[in-house]
């Protein structure tokens, strides 16, 4: 089938994407910081499906680690057909005057710079092959800013803009770029945002049925199945009860 590289495959959307693409016969490159989660996922995918898995543990914020790790994978693994730029996070919810500069740096470095570092490495592998597909995880937060979401929303608006720029850059090379913008999905996202406070995280999803990681992975996979001349540029997916990033009809 081909090769898919998925960043942030240790949880949530990335893990569901790895499983979904593996089930369809793709070899998968799974990345993340948590080595034990990568090892578990690799073992289960290899057991379940007749595909190959390459696990790479690196922090997308670490430019040198991204470069050295990806540079050094075997040439056959560099024939990446689909890159899912998924690794990302929100940290905290606060007004800017009360915000944590450390949290801002982590979000900007991960969601924006990390995505760029990985793309910078993979795009030159795709260009000579005149084929490829880059799928970037934005968010409804890219489209509308919600109260106290300021910097996280800005990072996702940046992903939206970077996706548009990438599309222009890559059109001559016939490489597709799709930005997928999910609304509220129950993954580890809110536990990370609220720094381990599982009660606060669970409250986010009360009063409506959130998306699951699998819902989002199914949509990402669908985007990759279209004929060579068709590209979904920008796709927003929300739970039925969510109209946009700041309006959800709870109960």
**Alpha-helix runs per DSSP H in the chain:** 12-23, 35-48, 63-71, 101-107, 115-126, 140-143, 150-170, 189-193, 198-203, 213-223
Furthest CA-CA distance within the chain: 52
Stretch that binds ligand NDP, among 27-35, 97-105, 219-227, 240-248 (CB under 6 A): 27-35
Tell me the C-alpha distance between 32 and 11, whole Å. Answer: 9
Q: Which of 5, 10, 26, 153 binds ligand NDP (CB under 6 A)?
A: 10
Least Cα distance to 206 among 249, 237, 175 occurs for 249
Contact, 6 vs 18, CB < 8 A? yes
Binds 245: which of ligand 8X3, ligand NDP, none (CB < 5-8 Å by kind)? ligand 8X3
Pairing of strands 242-244, 247-248: antiparallel
Site string for ligand 8X3, 159-198 (x = CB under 6 A): -------------------------x--------------
Across 52-64, b (16+ Cβ under 10 Å) vs e yields: bbbbbbbbbbeee
Site string for ligand 8X3, 206-245 (x = CB under 6 A): ---------------------------------------x
Binding to ligand NDP (CB under 6 A) within 69-108 occurs at 86-89
Catalytic residue among 26, 49, 152, 221: 152
Binds 108: which of ligand 8X3, ligand NDP, none (CB < 5-8 Å by kind)? none
146 an active-site residue? no
Site string for ligand 8X3, 84-123 (x = CB under 6 A): ------x---------------------------------
Place of tokens 């381990």: 196
- So which residues are the catalytic ones? 152
């Amino acid at each position: 089938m081909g090769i898919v590289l998925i960043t942030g495959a240790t949880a949530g959307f990335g893990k569901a994407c790895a499983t979904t693409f593996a089930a369809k016969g793709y070899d998968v490159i799974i990345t993340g910081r948590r080595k034990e989660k990568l090892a578990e996922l690799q073992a289960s995918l290899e057991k379940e499906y007749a595909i190959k898995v390459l696990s790479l543990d690196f922090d997308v914020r670490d430019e040198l680690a991204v470069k050295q790790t990806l540079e050094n994978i075997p040439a056959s693994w560099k024939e990446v057909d689909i890159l899912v730029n998924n690794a990302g996070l929100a940290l905290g919810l606060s007004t800017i005057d009360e915000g944590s500069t450390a949290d801002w740096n982590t979000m900007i470095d991960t969601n924006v710079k990390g995505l760029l570092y990985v793309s910078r490495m993979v795009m030159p592998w795709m260009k000579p092959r005149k084929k490829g597909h880059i799928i970037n995880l934005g968010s409804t937060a890219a489209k509308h800013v919600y109260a106290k979401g300021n910097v996280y929303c800005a990072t996702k608006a940046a992903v939206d803009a970077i996706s548009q720029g990438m599309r222009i850059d890559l059109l001559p090379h016939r490489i597709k770029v799709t930005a997928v913008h999910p609304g509220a999905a129950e993954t580890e996202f809110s536990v990370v945002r609220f720094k381990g406070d599982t009660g606060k995280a669970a409250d986010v999803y009360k009063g409506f049925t959130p998306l699951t990681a699998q819902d989002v992975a199914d949509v990402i996979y669908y985007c990759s199945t279209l004929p060579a001349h068709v590209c979904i540029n920008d796709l927003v997916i929300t739970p039925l009860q969510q109209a946009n990033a700041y309006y959800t009809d709870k109960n």
